[in-house]
Copies of this chain bind each other. A is one copy, B any other.
Amino acid sequence: MLTIGVDVGGTKIAAGVVDEEGRVLAHTRIDTDAENSEMIVGGIVQVITGLRQKHEVGAVGVVVPGMVAPSRDIVQFTPNIPWRNFPLAARLAEYVDLPTVIENDANAAGWAEFRFGRGRDVSHMVLMTLGTGVGGAIVVDGHLLRGAFGAAGEIGHLKMVPHGHYCGCGHEGCLERYASGQALTLAARHRAVTDPVGSARLMELAGEGKIRGPHVTLAAEEGDPVALEILEELGYWTGMASASLAAVLDPELIVIGGGVADSGHLFIDAVRDGFLDHLSARGYRQEARIELAQLGNDAGLVGAADLARV
């Protein structure tokens, strides 16, 4: 059976027809306005209708950047789209006569990675996505961990530092403030101010604008020592959080994805260092592997399409 996965972002809706092996047979994408809820609902209907014209599909999985009820039909909360307890599945059912489930973006990406990517040979896996924020997905014994209220896997809000940096969630010291793209950008700008000589290459890459995450990745790939140090520090925090996750969940594999990890092995080596420096009972336990994600930007829609089958 073919299914459709729809990935709803802040500025675009991507969708694809996905087969049982996780291959995307057809792809479409439209721009949208995150502030306009009706426009997003219309956009989702539009991409589904378009894809169905050439493919026989049996179900739809829609990925949203927010919290989803365990019943997989209601969007509880999205920070960047004005949805609060929004009955998205019911709204779509007015226009689309297919079984439809709603999934959290990180959960869907993690499921894709588990089914078709880096985790396809394991049963216990954690995905950490280091993007603008930090998201996560947890697979326990082959099942996606949703939690009692649908909010499991919010790894970005592990408390790392008492009275640490303020977080967008209203609290302090969350992992998201130390390992996200936002953290990368802020760390680089802080460094440019406190160490302008060492940060010369970063400032050159930024030109007239401000330093952003991709400038750090690029400079690090060129061997710039300050950029390397900034990335290594983010990786080390990610590794420390991975050790906490290993203490609680004991996974076989921790997969690291998202733009912050774009520098690849350069970043993942620092994650492994931080992990092994903080893993309890090391030497008496088997250690989780830490690997880069394999799937790219389609992971969310592929995961949702697959989750729509079950």
Q: Which residues of A contact B (CB under 8 A)?
A: 67, 76-77, 84, 122-124, 136, 138, 140-141, 143, 145-162, 167, 169-171, 174, 240-241, 243-252, 277-282, 284-286, 288
Contacts and interface: CB of A to CB of B under 8 A. Distances in A.
A159 B85 CA distance: 34
B151 A250 contact: yes
B157 A244 contact: yes
A182 B199 CA distance: 46
Contact of A247 (B145, B149, B155): B155
B145 A140 contact: yes
A42 to B, nearest CB: 25
Contacts of A138: 248
A278 B148 contact: no
B170 A282 contact: yes
A149 B169 CA distance: 33
A281 B67 contact: yes
15 contacts: A140-B145, A145-B249, A148-B251, A151-B286, A154-B247, A154-B280, A157-B247, A158-B244, A158-B248, A159-B241, A159-B243, A162-B240, A170-B282, A171-B279, A248-B248
Q: How many copies does the complex hold?
A: 2
The 8 A-B residue pairs with the shortest CB-CB distance, nearest first, are A147-B250, A148-B252, A157-B280, A152-B250, A124-B148, A157-B247, A169-B280, A77-B284
A2 to B, nearest CB: 29
Question: Which secondary structure dominates where chain A touches chain B?
Answer: loop
B250 A159 contact: no
Nearest to A240: B159
A174 B249 contact: no
Contact of A149 (B143, B147, B241, B250): B250
Contacts of A252: 148-149
A4 B216 CA distance: 60
Given A247-B155, A248-B154, A77 B149 contact: no
A89 B258 CA distance: 45
Given A158-B244, A160-B162, A286 B148 contact: yes
B147 A249 contact: yes
Contacts of A153: 248, 250
B155 A250 contact: no
A285 to B, nearest CB: 5
B171 A280 contact: yes
Contacts of A174: 280
A77 B281 contact: yes
A181 to B, nearest CB: 18
A157 B275 CA distance: 13
Contacts of A243: 157, 159, 171
B167 A280 contact: yes
